Amino acid sequence: MYKAKDGSEIFIIDGHVHLWDASPENIRNIHGKQFIDCFYGYHASLSPAEQLWAPEKFAKYGAEQMVRDLFIDGPDDMAIFQPTYLKDFYKNGFNTLEQNAILKTRYPDRFILNGAFDPRDGEGGLDALDAMAEVHKIKGVKLYTAEWKGDSRGYKLSEPAAYKYLERCEKLGIKNIHVHKGPTIIPLDRDAFDVADIDHCATDFPNLNFIVEHCGLPRLDDFCWIAVQEANVYGGLAVVLPFIHSRPGYFAKVISELLFWLGEDRILFGSDYGIWTPQWLVEKFMAFELPDEVMKETGKELTLTAKKKILGENAARLYGVDIAAQKTKLSRMEAKVA
């Protein structure tokens, strides 16, 4: 468990991790190659030099590497799998629930398994969602509104077809709806990641939590003006947090706006592993202080209390994780290993 400078322990739930396969054998077409190359561009541009991976490792790092990076060498106590299927680009899918479930079975106290849905799958997709809930007891889903499917290049979460799925989620007790609303990834379309549909859904489904992954970047203002009105909208820091290294001034602006509009109770840490590893992200976040001029403008501070909430307590609340009980479990596991 990560320890702050004052000696206090910080329980970390990494809210956004992947176990993907973008190996040449799994790539279906040029778009699969474009997609992973774009991911690698983010990795190379925003990571410290000593944290860079070779492209071959980045394409398929494997389960053992992931466990080491998150829990052994890394600071995570738990992590939430966010699947991304992309079967039009990858033969067996890019990062599927089925792949993730294998690791969840091996490490049941470490991983939280989320599912996914696509409203373009119709009634069959609703049946699949029912099965996910029954078999895996999922409490959340990850949605990719810009994903290509046949001739379709995305959908809006405010469409009637999508509402059928949100209604089913509510019925099944799947309360946490993670939605990729961030930077464009080639070949996907920028407009398909627009945050406007969150405004409709959050109003119409007040019993669901909408975690906007990547905080809508580059549409930060749009996201914040929606989130300030909707108490069930949260910001996920995946992609946002790595700017703490390469563009600390930009990160200061973004995190201060999030603190001003959403408050410290509605921001969630996510490493977006394997684009970035959590160790350096958490270390830099814990050491980071807002510049005086930024604090003066927003009236907000990034306190130790706020950091603890962002790094784990907020996700624990959404997913019903009893931190004290989980600490005891993990301590027993580590004692057995020792």
Q: What is the pLDDT of residues 140-175, one digit of tens each?
A: 999 999 999 999 999 999 999 999 999 999 999 999
Q: What is the rounded distance in angstroms from the CA atom of residue 279 to the CA atom of residue 142?
A: 24
- What's the token pair of residue 335? 């004692």
Q: What is the rounded distance in angstroms from the CA atom of residue 2 to the CA atom of residue 70?
A: 12
268 in Cβ contact with 15 (< 8 Å): yes
Q: What is the rounded distance in angstroms from the CA atom of residue 6 to the CA atom of residue 21?
A: 40
What's the first-to-final CA gap in the chain, in angstroms? 15
pLDDT band at 3 (very low <50, low <70, confident <90, very high): confident
Q: Does the pLDDT at position 26 exceed 70? A: yes
Q: What is the rounded distance in angstroms from the CA atom of residue 195 to the CA atom of residue 236?
A: 13
Amino acid 123: pLDDT:
97
114 in Cβ contact with 85 (< 8 Å): no
| Dihedral angle over CA of 214, 217, 222, 224, nearest 10 | 50
Task: Please give the model's pTM, rounded to 2 decimal places.
Answer: 0.96
Residues 6 or more apart from 296 whose CB is under 8 A from it?
none
Amino acid 4: pLDDT:
86
Residue pLDDT, tens place only, 95-107: 999 999 999 999 9
| Dihedral angle over CA of 34, 35, 38, 42, nearest 10 | -170
Q: What is the average per-residue pLDDT within 123-150?
A: 97
∠204-210-213 over CA atoms, to 5°? 145
pLDDT: is 27 or 7 the higher one? 27
The DSSP bridge partners found for residue 143 are 179
Q: What is the average per-residue pLDDT within 123-149?
A: 97
Residue pLDDT, tens place only, 170-195: 999 999 999 999 988 999 998 899 99
**How many CB atoms neighbour CB 237 within 10 A?**
28
Kind and range of the H or E run holding 10: strand 9-10
Amino acid 336: pLDDT:
61
Amino acid 172: pLDDT:
98
φ and ψ at 90, to 5 degrees?
-130, 135
Query: Cα dihedral sign for 64, 66, 70, 74?
Result: positive
Percent share of the chain, pLDDT over 70: 99
215 in Cβ contact with 238 (< 8 Å): no
